[in-house]
């Protein structure tokens, strides 16, 4: 059984429970996806599938990529990701569809995407440095401070936190709760925020280290003294 699916972030909204509890939620258009390549332990050393996201706009391909899709006998897709298979599950073949109904309400998932880029930032915003005093003639406000000793080792050690490009990397948000699954419209609504801007691509997988879902317990009334 496949453990994930490719999707596109639509945006954020709110979901209300019958008792009025409000949940901030993200809407993801998950799938439909098609299996472009199936990998197994005998030929590749591990079991996984390469999924392609089927979109309305046809994908442009070059000659090698066109042969890759022709071998699988599937239409070309622009976005492709590799997803692992659950051990002991049914194997998938090229051409099989993967839909959002692989998830269920209340399930925990991990969402992988590319975070928003913040550009070149200083140490206060990038690394949460406190900075110096703002008054009394201080000229040390948002500077990084000392970056190493002069006598030894006479160099800046690797890993020193400094100003630089912030964001724009691969981000994984773990253990998000699935609030709604709309199989007809290929929509998945998860609680909380996910990486990336609206319309960006994400991979939704079953949680690797799923947290236990807490169930509300009704307290028993205490016995009073007679």
* Separation CA 109–CA 4 (nearest Å): 9
Same domain, 57 and 139: no
Same domain, 22 and 51: yes
Classify residue 216: in a domain, yes or no: no
Classify residue 12: in a domain, yes or no: yes
Q: Is 100 exposed, middle or buried (0-12, 13-18, 19+ CB in 10 A)?
A: buried
- pLDDT of 82-104, one tens digit each? 888 887 767 788 888 889 888 89
Whether residue 216 is predicted with pLDDT greater than 60 in this model: the reply is no
Compute φ and ψ for 126, nearest 5 degrees: -75, -40
Same domain, 70 and 159: no
Same domain, 94 and 125: no
Per-residue pLDDT at 116: 92
Residue span of the structural domain in which 137 resides: 119-167
Per-residue pLDDT at 198: 93
Same domain, 137 and 26: no
Per-residue pLDDT at 215: 59
Same domain, 145 and 83: no
Same domain, 140 and 195: no
Hunting for tokens 């030929």 — which residue is that?
A: 43
- pLDDT of 139-179, one tens digit each? 899 999 899 998 998 999 999 999 999 999 999 999 999 99
């Amino acid at each position: 059984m496949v453990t994930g699916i490719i999707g596109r972030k639509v945006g954020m909204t709110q979901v209300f429970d019958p008792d009025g509890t409000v949940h901030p939620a993200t809407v993801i258009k998950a799938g439909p996806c098609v299996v472009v390549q199936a990998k197994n332990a005998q030929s590749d050393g591990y079991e996984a599938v390469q999924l392609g996201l089927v979109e309305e706009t046809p994908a442009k391909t070059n000659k090698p990529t066109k042969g890759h899709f022709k071998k699988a006998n599937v239409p070309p897709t622009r976005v492709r990701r590799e997803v692992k298979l659950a051990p002991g599950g049914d194997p998938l073949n090229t051409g099989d569809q993967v839909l959002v109904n692989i998830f269920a309400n209340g399930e925990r998932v991990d969402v992988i995407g590319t975070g928003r880029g913040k550009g070149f930032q200083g140490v206060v915003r990038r690394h949460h440095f406190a900075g110096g005093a703002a008054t009394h003639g201080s000229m040390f406000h948002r500077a990084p401070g000392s970056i190493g000793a002069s006598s030894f080792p006479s160099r800046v050690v690797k890993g020193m936190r400094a100003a630089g490009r912030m964001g724009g990397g691969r981000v994984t948000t773990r253990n998000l709760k699935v609030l709604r699954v709309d199989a007809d419209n290929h929509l998945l609504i998860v609680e909380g925020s996910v990486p990336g801007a609206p319309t960006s691509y994400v991979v939704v997988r079953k949680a690797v280290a799923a947290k236990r879902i807490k169930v509300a317990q009704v307290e028993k009334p205490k016995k009073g003294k007679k």
